[in-house]
Chains A and B, each alone.
Chain A
Amino acid sequence: MKESTLFPLTFLFYLLASFFYFSSLFTRKEKLNRTGSGLVIIGFFIHNLALIFRTIESGHAPFTNMYESLSFFAWSTVLAMLIAEKVFRFYRLSAYLMLLVIALMALASSPLMPKEATPLVPALQSYWLWLHVSVTLLGEAFFAVAFIASILYLVASAKENKGQSFSSLSSEKLDSLSYRAVAIGFPLFTLGGLVFGMVWANVAWGRYWAWDPKEVWSLITWFFYALYLHTRIVMGWKGKRSAWIAIIGFLAALFTYFGVNYLLSGLHSYA
């Protein structure tokens, strides 16, 4: 078995799972939902194998170029989704979250992404690479959960205002789900993105903070979620305004992750 066959297989299972999730949403048959869940779990298991094979084939962490990164981010998002299903007992979000996962997988599969593994430059040869990237991306995956919940919140509350319901999702539940996802994502992002990032920068470059564009954008992302928490907890904002902050916060996280590499130059430009 090779990663290059396992990856498309993973993608296939995720596509099948989404098909069942959406069928369940539109036919309101719970059974289809459970089939979807099962397919995601099989896909996730194959994805784990793909990542392990990639690590063995390349000899280093499976997130050092854009293709690997996208695959790993998709993996984190599925993990966050499975955790969210277990912890929040809220399955209706999964269909929409899978759309994001599929977008990431499709981008990774596109011919634009060079797939061959290259050896690591000296600065990346560190176990901090594992800790820094994986914890940060898991944090961002929970931000993705909040992002999807917030978009659905805006749709659901608009429908409720018109006296309709939106595929039996209640806006109130979506709003609290978004907060609970941020409450998991924020500490993870702080630990992986800021704390481990500073520790590693200090080990590799001799300074914990260099105002490199990628560092600054992590800080900006962090500020957005600090705003989300404070407006909510201290000023009692809920609903629409909260949802918008969670949406913009995730866009900032995406920009930190992808945009900075392509659009701004700095120390981090090899990753």
Chain B
Amino acid sequence: MSSFIRLFASVKAAIVLIIIITIASIVGTLIPQGRSPEEYLLRYGQLAPLFQRLQLTKLYSSFWYLALLFLFSLNLIICTLLRLKPKIKRVFRPHLDFKPSELMALKNSQKIIFSVPMEKVYGQLRSILHSYHYQIKEKKGESSLTLLGRKKMSGYFGADVVHLAILLILIGGLTSGLFSFRMDLALHKGEMATIPHSDFAVRLDAFTTEYYPNGQVKDWKSTLTVVEEEKEVLSKTVEVNHPLKYKKYLFYQSAYGWDWDKADLEIVIRSAEAQGQDKIISVKNGEKVTCDPNLEIHVHRFLPDFVLDENKRPFSRSNEPNNPAAFVEVTREGERIFSGWLFARFPDFGQMHPGKDSPLSLELRNFSASEYSVIHVSRDPGTGFIWAGCIFIMLGLALAFYWTPREIRFLLQSEAGRTALLVAGIASKNKEALEKEIEKIISSLRKKK
């Protein structure tokens, strides 16, 4: 065996690797992953470039973390395979030539003398072992006989099944990393999008948000229709936790939003000079409209959730219309007569803070934007391996912990019409239970004679 293989065959190496992977994984939970360079600079200052160079900011896909997982897989494969060979031999071609001294050297072995011929003891022993569901292998000698009773032998392979399952999961992860396809589709009602690398498209037919009585969001629902070669193939309402599956693609309700950039606004203009003659104007964010022959209204910006940052610069805290505000400029014959923020939630704000010499007051009465639903599309060929791995890992754990193999070795020796029986049990776990079972087998053998 080369020293390379020997290194990777050892469980010590596995333990060292698991400890290193654990420490690395902990580091990855302490440093937020996949943020912008600016955020790291703010958080860690001068250390930021070092962290990025060491790939600590995208640790779980870093070269060195993947290398650790690769070494771990190698370790697992070599370790499992090397131990599998002797195990298979032991299970399928068991050793039957045990000598009396060998048996007596085993823990809890015992010797019993029966005053009946060996053939008779042998026959009774066989039937008792069968009634305890033992499978029997035997070998006849001249005046002796060896008999091996075994059950639940597949338990020996529990750990191997677990290890194989872990490999399957790692292969699944690798497959996902290399070959999965994901994208987010932002769809407006009625909009259709073709799915890349496929021969079909999906259309959003309806999108609704449901609320609890207290106003909290209960669910988002998107009705999606799959269109293939201009035919509607199927229609399903997708909601959180209930994706649509079609041809290896899964469609998830992932988010929603509004096109505030193209918001439609309704602005009321009151003139101090002409009271009671309010004008209502519809205008799109970013556009200009002329109402009076010489009055021009320009909406420069619309923020759905107006707040000021540390430098008193306005920005939108979220995409939700919590505090909608529009920055509006009004000019008459090229001369600016109003410019400022209008707040839909605080219509009086404009009145309380009128432009110094503005003859107008404005109000943002209404705002709307088209809503879209964000559908996450994924095609992940790794999931098959993952689910197979999950099933095998549970099977393997059940075998390893709760299907403990039991072996009982018997050696019968004929001694002038009498029979000497040597017994010893072997179990890797729950030895006491096997001892009890052996006691029962022997006492029923004693009763039978």
Residue ranges of A at the interface with B (Cβ–Cβ < 8 Å): 118-119, 121-123, 125-126, 128, 183-184, 186-187, 190-191, 194-195, 198-199, 202-209, 211, 213, 216-217, 219-220, 223-224, 226-227, 230-231, 234-235, 260, 264-265
B383 touches A123 (CB 8 A): no
The verdict on B216 contacting chain A, using a C-beta distance below 8 Å, is yes
Q: Which residues of A contact B220 (CB under 8 A)?
A: 122
Q: Mark B369-403, 1 if CB is under 8 A from A, else 0.
A: 00000001010100100110010011001100100
Q: Can you list 17 A-B pairs with a CB-CB distance of less than 8 A?
A: A119-B212, A119-B214, A119-B216, A121-B217, A122-B218, A122-B253, A125-B219, A187-B394, A190-B394, A195-B390, A198-B390, A199-B387, A208-B176, A211-B28, A213-B29, A220-B25, A230-B11
Known A-B contacts: A195-B390, A219-B25. Give 10 more (CB < 8 A). A122-B220, A122-B241, A123-B240, A198-B390, A204-B240, A206-B254, A216-B25, A223-B25, A231-B15, A264-B30
Tell me the count of chain B residues lying within 8 A, CB to CB, of chain A: 47
Q: Which residues of A contact B243 (CB under 8 A)?
A: 203, 206
A97 to B371 Cα, complex, angstroms: 54
Closest-CB distance, B208 to chain A (whole angstroms): 13
A208 touches B241 (CB 8 A): no
Q: Which residues of B contact A208 (CB under 8 A)?
A: 176, 383, 386
Q: Which residues of B contact A190 (CB under 8 A)?
A: 393-394, 397
Question: Given contacts A119-B214, A126-B241, A198-B390, are A230 and B14 in contact (CB under 8 A)?
Answer: yes
B397 touches A125 (CB 8 A): no
Partner of A123, one of B11, B14, B241: B241
The verdict on B173 contacting chain A, using a C-beta distance below 8 Å, is yes
> In the complex, which residue of chain B has the Cβ closest to the Cβ of A188?
B397
Q: Which residues of A contact B253 (CB under 8 A)?
A: 122
Q: Which residues of B contact A213 (CB under 8 A)?
A: 29
Question: Given contacts A195-B390, A211-B33, A220-B26, are A206 and B182 in contact (CB under 8 A)?
Answer: yes
> In the complex, which residue of chain A has the Cβ closest to the Cβ of B210?
A122
Closest-CB distance, B376 to chain A (whole angstroms): 5
Q: Which residues of A contact B394 (CB under 8 A)?
A: 187, 190-191, 195
> In the complex, which residue of chain B has the Cβ closest to the Cβ of A235?
B11
Closest-CB distance, B195 to chain A (whole angstroms): 14
The verdict on B22 contacting chain A, using a C-beta distance below 8 Å, is yes
The verdict on B252 contacting chain A, using a C-beta distance below 8 Å, is yes
Q: Which residues of B contact A121 (CB under 8 A)?
A: 216-217
Question: Given contacts A207-B380, A216-B25, are A122 and B252 in contact (CB under 8 A)?
Answer: no
A204 to B378 Cα, complex, angstroms: 12
B15 touches A227 (CB 8 A): yes
Question: Given contacts A122-B218, A123-B241, A223-B22, are A264 and B383 in contact (CB under 8 A)?
Answer: no
A195 touches B25 (CB 8 A): no
A265 to B39 Cα, complex, angstroms: 15
Among B26, B29, B253, find the residue whose CB has the most chain A CB atoms closer than 10 A.
B29
The verdict on B129 contacting chain A, using a C-beta distance below 8 Å, is no
> In the complex, which residue of chain A has the Cβ closest to the Cβ of B380?
A207
Partner of B383, one of A187, A202, A217: A202
A121 to B253 Cα, complex, angstroms: 14
A122 touches B240 (CB 8 A): yes
